[in-house]
Chains A and B, each alone.
Chain A
Amino acid sequence: MELLYAMTLGVLTTCGVYLLLRARTFTVILGLTLLSHAVNLYLFASGRLVAGAPAIVGLTDRSADPLPQALVLTAIVIGFAMTAFVVVLALKAAVELRNDHVDGENPDEDRL
């Protein structure tokens, strides 16, 4: 189970980073979202993978680690706010620069 989880994280991260390195703002936002999924899942997993034992007192004998859950919960919400902000930033950039390249200009040639 742990191996599967780690591999899934790896795939999510790989996809996120690859999209992050693309040239168009929208694609970068997609990548950011994937990456934040990966980060949230990773933080969450620092409480270890426990099935069927939510952190509610008296429900089960043992319980999942509530602390990473609390941290990730706010992380998800703030991640949403940041996504919204980046989206608007991308819109603004696209309107003002008349293109949606992350460098603000359509490159005539690859610079790297």
Chain B
Amino acid sequence: MILALILLLPLLGALLPALCRRASCRRLAGLAALPALSSLALLLSLLPRVTGGETLIAELAWLPSLGLNLALRLDALGLLFALLITGIGAAILLFARYYFEGSASAARFFTLVLAFMAVMLGIVLAENLLFMLVFWELTSLVSFLLIGFHSDRQAARLGARMSLVITGGGGLALLAGIVLLGQAAGSYELSVVLEAGERIRGHEHYGLMLNLILLGAFTKSAQFPFHLWLPHAMTAPTPVSAYLHSATMVKAGLFLLARLHPALADTELWFHLVTLTGMVTLMVGAFVAMFMHDMKGLLAYSTVSHLGLIMLLLGLGTPMALAAALFHLVCHALFKAPLFMMAGYVDRATGTRDMRRINGMWRFMPSLMVLSAIPAAAMAGLPLMSGYVSKKMLFGESLRVVTPEWAALVIPVWVTLAGLFSVAYSIRIFHNVYFNGKPIDLPVWPPREPRRAALVPIALPVLATLVVGLAPQGLYATLVHPAFEAARQAELAAFDFGALGGSRTGLMSLVALAGGALFYAIRGPLFCLHARLPEVDAKEIFDWVMRRATERSQRRVFQLENGSLQRYLTFIMVTVVVLVGVELLAVARWSGGVPLGPLDPLTVLAAALLCLAAIGVVVFHHYRLPALLLLGVTGLFVTVAFARFSAPDLALTQLMVEVMAVVIMMLALSFLPQQSPRESTRARMGRDLAIAGLVGGGVAAFSFAILTRPQHTISDFFLANSVPGGGGTNVVNVILVDFRGFDTLGEITVLGIAAVAVFAFTRDLHLKERVVDTQPGHWVAEPHPIMLSTVARLVLPIALLVSAYIFLRGHNLPGGGFIAGLITAVAFTLQYMAGGLVWAQARMLTAFRPLIGAGLLIAVATGLGSWLFDHPFLTSAHGHFHLPLVGEFELATAMLFDLGVYATVVGATLLVLANLGKLMTVAGPGKEIG
């Protein structure tokens, strides 16, 4: 519970600043510090138990089938990192209170930093590796947001993108590696994984797994050649650089490797990959840092170099190397954060970060100078400083390497050389800023020292650095050694600080100090030399790689997806043929054995005409009007088919729909070209015909197979219950409005939506800019023949009467809401055609959309009505009634529902028709109809 709280406090606390964005920066910092300090206090309260060797685990099953649990774990290693995250985080929040004073975006910053704190804590507290990965990716995302904090600056956006691509890409590799690891270990729970070291190292995929996991760790911890993103991340506000990009997030990769040490480490492959990467990173970072003129750039490269140093120690495999790594990790966080804060203040005070211009600041900022001297000295590794101790530890461990032989020779020299550079750049950032002559052409003049209180966030870690330097045993014994044991999962002897003063390590640090001082002294000529070197801009390389990758993948995508819908349809059809065809080929017997029904000449004739009409549509499809008429013929024969095979309801529906569909298509055709150009090549037509033939043949074959097999239907239930349960003898209608009423409700809703969509589309369709060769010559000159309009007017009342009759009898005989609605719609359509839109419009109510809405409401209300009687939605009731003259008749609530269907169908059909028809009028889209 406490573990969850440690994580949740900053996470929920992140909402506080977001909720009070108008508050002053001071109050915001206070709000943000509250959860951070609470988490810190909780961690400290657990300190005695955890450093005593206890491992606390809290678990909540989430997706157990995937091995993914919300499991948290706190042991000494996690505690060390968690304390760094919350402790440095608290100092950073205090620093940000001064840094962001008067800035409008402070609330956003505090929210993001707290969110970062939470997800970073998630990484170090997760017990489940998959759970940890979630946080791992989240840190990349929050880091992206923070680097791009000043989203109006292009450099910030580019830097943010670069870091996201590199760390996010590494995260993907890590995911793959972790999955392999989990499979090898049999679980994603750390407690299992850490015990399974033997099995994992002996696994056949160990090499691949290690490479993938290292890729994740190297990208996150800015190891060569992935270090490029870190210097570009310096576009972030300085508190972010100090917190994420030197003290915490970039240490996540190191944490992971320390964490997985018992599972993965101490193989030859591990040694070579980790040590060599660390060595290269250490040297590249240290060397480049010396030549950076940007304060934050120098600090960034020095961070890269220190990360490389720790990586090197993680790889070494000597007994105490891991302890040295953890010790230096803490020291680095403690001295690098104040240096960044110092850079932030100087940047603020002078308006620039260019060290060629910032000189002689001792005159303006004496207190800051004193405070910066200590971390700079620690970074250089001067005696009595924390960095001195950790450097000695590094040198000592480098001398203990015995195998392989090259490493025993090279590594001590290598680390001494890197130490030399680090001395040089440490001197540089201090001497260059505070001394080295007079300031040159500063944008802000005169530079003013930040007020005393603003120095407190610097003073806190500086004080810690001092304490560690003077009494390293204290830090080591309370935090580092338990963490070391937790990382190794073993009881180990403590580091012997008495042995630090060896003569060889002393010599090495002397060489580094003297050499570094000398290197700095002759920096003038060196800078000139460096300036003459060809410049390699990481951003350009990165951009080039990104561009190439994008181009490649775009080309690949376009090869498949060229924007041609016609082509996609072909692909879909071919896929259908292939997938279904493979299955169909396996069918042994096409005929299922049920005896075939007898053929009669009339049916054969109708089928032949249907086929001929369909083929006619294809043959004449270039001449659109004839094709459309033939399509109408096919529709009529489909109607005949329904009638022939005992489906009067379907036949009636199909008939009405066919009329409406042809009318609507004809309306549309009057705006479209009357002919389709012949543009397909013969080969293409042949190919399409082959595809279509295969699809058609397949459909015919499996329809035949189905038709000749015995039927198993659930319809007996409907037939048996239609009268007693639904109160109607027309089973189709009873199913529609009663048994499956809920489906019907959905379907009329779709109908209504489609009609309203048509309305919306036609509303601002301007057909004045008519498409192409619309030749009125094809169309009848007389728009409204007198015979038609006279007959149409006479027909209307009869049609409405028929529709009412069909509606009322629908429950017992063919008919019902759908059919009656369509008949009504057709009757009105006839009026539109005969009299014209304007004429018809003037004589009828056109509230079609309200009609659709009312229909749906009636249907829903009928359904809801059954709730009043404690029945489920859409339960129907029915009863017999007697009226004089009419006689015995039956009423069902389902009829009310059918009324809703009726209204929706009428409204939807006429809405579509009227709005399409409206386009025909000369005025174009005038007043809305419906």
Chain B residues with Cβ under 8 A from A20's Cβ? 569, 573, 692
Interfacial residues of chain B within 755-774, with CB under 8 A of chain A in the complex? 755, 757-758, 761-762, 765-767, 769-772
Q: A44-B642, A91-B672 are in contact. Are A30 and B627 (CB under 8 A)?
A: yes
Q: A34-B631, A81-B751, A112-B564 are in contact. Are A70 and B729 (CB under 8 A)?
A: no
Which of A69, A81, A83, A88 makes the CB contact (< 8 A) with B647?
Answer: A69
Q: Is the CB of B657 within 8 A of A80?
A: yes
Q: Is the CB of A67 within 8 A of B715?
A: yes
A24, B676: Cα distance in complex, Å: 7
Which of A53, A69, A89, A112 makes the CB contact (< 8 A) with B650?
Answer: A69
A89, B711: Cα distance in complex, Å: 40
Q: Tell me, rounded to whole Å, the shortest Cβ–Cβ distance linking B626 to chain A.
A: 11
Interfacial residues of chain A within 2-20, with CB under 8 A of chain B in the complex? 2-20
Say whether B648 faces chain A, with CB atoms less than 8 Å apart.
yes
Say whether B699 faces chain A, with CB atoms less than 8 Å apart.
yes
Say whether B837 faces chain A, with CB atoms less than 8 Å apart.
no
Interfacial residues of chain A within 69-112, with CB under 8 A of chain B in the complex? 69-70, 72-74, 76-85, 87-92, 94-95, 98-100, 102-103, 107, 110-112
Chain A residues with Cβ under 8 A from B695's Cβ? 13-14, 17
Q: Is the CB of B699 within 8 A of A38?
A: yes
Closest B residue by C-beta to A72: B650
Q: Tell me, rounded to whole Å, the shortest Cβ–Cβ distance linking B632 to chain A.
A: 10
User: Chain A interface mostly helix, strand, loop or mixed?
Assistant: helix
Interfacial residues of chain B within 902-919, with CB under 8 A of chain A in the complex? 905, 908-909, 912, 916, 919
Q: Is the CB of A73 within 8 A of B703?
A: no
Say whether B832 faces chain A, with CB atoms less than 8 Å apart.
no
A46, B706: Cα distance in complex, Å: 7
Q: Is the CB of B645 within 8 A of A64?
A: yes
Q: A13-B700, A84-B755, A84-B912 are in contact. Are A67 and B718 (CB under 8 A)?
A: yes
Q: Tell me, rounded to whole Å, the shortest Cβ–Cβ distance linking B308 to chain A.
A: 52
Closest A residue by C-beta to B612: A11
Q: Is the CB of A41 within 8 A of B618?
A: no
Interfacial residues of chain B within 320-348, with CB under 8 A of chain A in the complex? none
Q: A1-B596, A80-B657, A100-B673 are in contact. Are A21 and B573 (CB under 8 A)?
A: yes
Q: A10-B696, A65-B713 are in contact. Are A76 and B654 (CB under 8 A)?
A: yes
Say whether B546 faces chain A, with CB atoms less than 8 Å apart.
no
Q: Tell me, rounded to whole Å, the shortest Cβ–Cβ distance linking A85 to chain B.
A: 5
Residue from the set B665, B695, B732, B812 with the largest chain A CB neighbour count within 10 Å: B732
Residue from the set A13, A37, A55, A102 with the largest chain B CB neighbour count within 10 Å: A55
Chain A residues with Cβ under 8 A from B681's Cβ? 110
Interfacial residues of chain B within 600-620, with CB under 8 A of chain A in the complex? 603-604, 607, 610-611, 614-615, 617-618
Q: Is the CB of A41 within 8 A of B638?
A: yes
Q: Tell me, rounded to whole Å, the shortest Cβ–Cβ distance linking A34 to chain B.
A: 6
Closest A residue by C-beta to B576: A17
Say whether B814 faces chain A, with CB atoms less than 8 Å apart.
yes
Q: Is the CB of B751 within 8 A of A77?
A: yes
Interfacial residues of chain A within 34-74, with CB under 8 A of chain B in the complex? 34, 37-38, 40-42, 44-59, 63-67, 69-70, 72-74
Say whether B846 faces chain A, with CB atoms less than 8 Å apart.
no
Which of A27, A41, A66, A111 makes the CB contact (< 8 A) with B676?
Answer: A27
The 8 A CB mask of B64-76 against A (1 = contact, 0 = none) is 0000000000000
Q: Tell me, rounded to whole Å, the shortest Cβ–Cβ distance linking B733 to chain A.
A: 8
Q: Is the CB of B657 within 8 A of A54?
A: no
Q: Tell me, rounded to whole Å, the shortest Cβ–Cβ distance linking B579 to chain A.
A: 15
Say whether B649 faces chain A, with CB atoms less than 8 Å apart.
yes
Chain B residues with Cβ under 8 A from A89's Cβ? 761
Q: Is the CB of B754 within 8 A of A84?
A: yes
Q: Is the CB of B916 within 8 A of A47?
A: no
Chain B residues with Cβ under 8 A from A50's Cβ? 645-646
Closest B residue by C-beta to A75: B747
Q: Is the CB of A34 within 8 A of B653?
A: no
Chain B residues with Cβ under 8 A from A34's Cβ? 614, 617, 631, 634
Closest B residue by C-beta to A70: B735
Q: Tell me, rounded to whole Å, the shortest Cβ–Cβ distance linking A21 to chain B.
A: 4
Q: A1-B596, A65-B711, A90-B668 are in contact. Are A26 and B645 (CB under 8 A)?
A: no
Say whether B528 faces chain A, with CB atoms less than 8 Å apart.
no
Chain A residues with Cβ under 8 A from B743's Cβ? 74
Chain B residues with Cβ under 8 A from A103's Cβ? 563-566
Say whether B413 faces chain A, with CB atoms less than 8 Å apart.
no
A51, B923: Cα distance in complex, Å: 52
Which of B570, B650, B684, B691 makes the CB contact (< 8 A) with A73?
Answer: B650
A48, B679: Cα distance in complex, Å: 42
Interfacial residues of chain B within 735-791, with CB under 8 A of chain A in the complex? 735-736, 740, 743-744, 747, 750-751, 754-755, 757-758, 761-762, 765-767, 769-772
A49, B628: Cα distance in complex, Å: 29
Interfacial residues of chain B within 570-610, with CB under 8 A of chain A in the complex? 570, 573, 596-599, 603-604, 607, 610
Chain A residues with Cβ under 8 A from B818's Cβ? 73-74, 77
Q: Is the CB of B699 within 8 A of A69?
A: no
Q: Is the CB of A14 within 8 A of B696?
A: yes
Q: A21-B691, A27-B621 are in contact. Are A81 and B700 (CB under 8 A)?
A: no
A88, B548: Cα distance in complex, Å: 42
A11, B665: Cα distance in complex, Å: 23
A37, B647: Cα distance in complex, Å: 15
Chain B residues with Cβ under 8 A from A10's Cβ? 696-697, 699-701, 703
Interfacial residues of chain B within 527-569, with CB under 8 A of chain A in the complex? 562-567, 569
A21, B747: Cα distance in complex, Å: 29
Chain B residues with Cβ under 8 A from A47's Cβ? 711, 713, 715
Chain B residues with Cβ under 8 A from A64's Cβ? 645-647
Chain B residues with Cβ under 8 A from A80's Cβ? 657, 660-661, 909
Q: A19-B618, A84-B758, A91-B671 are in contact. Are A111 and B567 (CB under 8 A)?
A: yes
Q: Is the CB of A11 within 8 A of B615?
A: yes
Closest A residue by C-beta to B573: A17
Chain B residues with Cβ under 8 A from A54's Cβ? 646-648, 814
Closest B residue by C-beta to A29: B665
Q: Is the CB of B736 within 8 A of A70?
A: yes
Chain B residues with Cβ under 8 A from A9's Cβ? 696, 699-700, 703
A1, B644: Cα distance in complex, Å: 12
Q: Is the CB of A13 within 8 A of B657?
A: no
Chain B residues with Cβ under 8 A from A92's Cβ? 761, 765
Q: Is the CB of B707 within 8 A of A15?
A: no
Chain A residues with Cβ under 8 A from B795's Cβ? none
Q: Is the CB of A66 within 8 A of B596?
A: no
Q: A57-B729, A73-B818, A87-B916 are in contact. Are A81 and B755 (CB under 8 A)?
A: yes
Chain A residues with Cβ under 8 A from B573's Cβ? 17, 20-21
Closest B residue by C-beta to A67: B715
Residue from the set A48, A51, A70 with the largest chain B CB neighbour count within 10 Å: A70
Say whether B708 faces chain A, with CB atoms less than 8 Å apart.
yes
Pull 25 A–B residue pairs with CB atoms less than 8 Å apart, ordered by A: A4-B607, A9-B696, A10-B696, A10-B700, A13-B699, A16-B614, A16-B692, A17-B691, A18-B688, A21-B688, A33-B631, A37-B638, A44-B645, A45-B645, A45-B707, A54-B648, A54-B814, A69-B732, A70-B732, A78-B750, A80-B661, A84-B664, A84-B912, A103-B566, A110-B684
13 extra A-B contacts, CB within 8 A, seeds A37-B634, A74-B736: A2-B708, A40-B638, A48-B711, A51-B645, A66-B735, A67-B713, A69-B650, A77-B822, A82-B754, A85-B758, A87-B668, A94-B671, A102-B566
The 5 closest A-B pairs by CB, nearest first: A10-B700, A14-B696, A1-B597, A6-B704, A81-B754
Residues on B close to A: CB < 8 A? 562-567, 569-570, 573, 596-599, 603-604, 607, 610-611, 614-615, 617-618, 621, 624, 627-628, 631, 634-635, 638, 641-642, 644-650, 653-654, 657, 660-661, 664-665, 668-669, 671-673, 676-677, 679-681, 684, 688-689, 691-693, 695-697, 699-701, 703-704, 706-708, 711, 713-715, 718-719, 722-723, 729-732, 735-736, 740, 743-744, 747, 750-751, 754-755, 757-758, 761-762, 765-767, 769-772, 812-814, 818, 822, 905, 908-909, 912, 916, 919
